[in-house]
Amino acid sequence: MRRQIRPRPACRHPHPFLPMPSRKRPVRAAGDDALMARALQWNELFSHWPDAQREELLKSARMERYRRRTQVLSHDRHRRELLVVVSGCLEISSVSDLGRKYVNALLGPGQVAPVVRLLEDVPLAYDYHAHEDSVIIHLPSDAVIAVLDAMPILWRDVARLGLRRQRMSVAMLQAQTLGSIRRRVAATLAGLVEIYGLQQQEGVDLRVRLSQHDLAAMLGLSRQTINKELGALVDEGLIELSYKRMVVRDPAALRRIGAEG
């Protein structure tokens, strides 16, 4: 006689003696709360906020660790969140219909994007990838807006950050349209020095993995053109190159070249 197997009821609880995880607050690893609190304290947008308001943001925040080249927000590209870089590098980029990649920016620790997600119904124009192994805090936009509306004076910090970004965008657009290739390359490297540069005995170490392909994608140029321009800067003694590593020997000279008319 064949034994009849009765189907087991679906288990809605992982264990009858363990509490269900709360859905109101993300589950975090030990030490994450302290790390996120420190990250917000020196972030470009939240550093001047009162402690109570930063603590309110942490209630709905979650922290994720991404391997290099992993897409951020891959499961829900249009989720309205701010991305706070704790460590590593966040690449903001897009790909044309012809498959050509354009890198809009590389954001380092202490920076946040996309601030435009504080507006409703604004489509996300770019993709976000971990350019290096990175740690990113995700802040739901609605939670940030709730804190801002409860203390409207904090919107001033959002406005200031937006205006700084606007000024940088205008300067970049002017350099892209009016500047020489040499000027564009120098200005881009000088900007990266400000974000990632670490002063060493031989110069300023650019602590981000930056290939010629990456730099070409940032400037909309061919890799051959980038190779030629970097070679000229090496010959002038302004930079030193090794495998995906760059040391800037004269940052002031790069800034002067980048500011030329």
The pLDDT assigned to 26 comes to 53
At residue 77, what is the residue type? R
Q: How many CB atoms sit inside 10 A of residue 213's CB?
A: 12
Sorting pLDDT into bands at 50, 70 and 90, what band is 228?
very high
What is the average pLDDT across 238-259?
A: 86
Mapped onto helix, strand or coil, the DSSP state of residue 184 is helix
Long-range contacts of 160-167 (CB under 8 A, 24+ apart): 161/44, 161/45, 161/112, 161/115, 162/115, 165/115
Give me the pLDDT at residue 158, please. 96
Find out whether 223 and 185 touch, Cβ atoms under 8 Å.
Answer: no
Q: What phi and psi values does residue 222 have, to the nearest 5 degrees? A: -80, 155
CA 50 vs CA 43, 47, 84, 149, 154: distances in Å: 13, 8, 18, 14, 9
Confidence of residue 4 (pLDDT cuts 50, 70, 90): low
Which pLDDT tens digit goes with each residue over 127-161? 899 998 999 999 999 999 999 999 999 999 999 99
Q: Return d(Cα 55, Cα 6) in angstroms, integer.
A: 51
Q: Residue 154: CB partners within 8 Å, gap ≥ 6?
A: 49, 53, 147, 148
pLDDT digits (tens, 9 = 90+) for 47-72: 999 999 999 999 999 999 999 989 99
Report which of residues 184 and 39 the model is more confident about.
39
What does residue 87 show for φ and ψ, rounded to 5 degrees?
A: -150, 160
- pLDDT in the model for residue 84: 96
Q: Is 214 exposed, middle or buried (0-12, 13-18, 19+ CB in 10 A)?
A: buried
The alpha carbon torsion through 32, 33, 39, 43 (nearest 10 deg) reads 140
Would you place residue 87 in the very low, low, confident or very high pLDDT band (cuts 50, 70, 90)? Answer: very high
Inform me whether the pLDDT recorded for 220 exceeds 70.
yes
* Global pTM value: 0.75
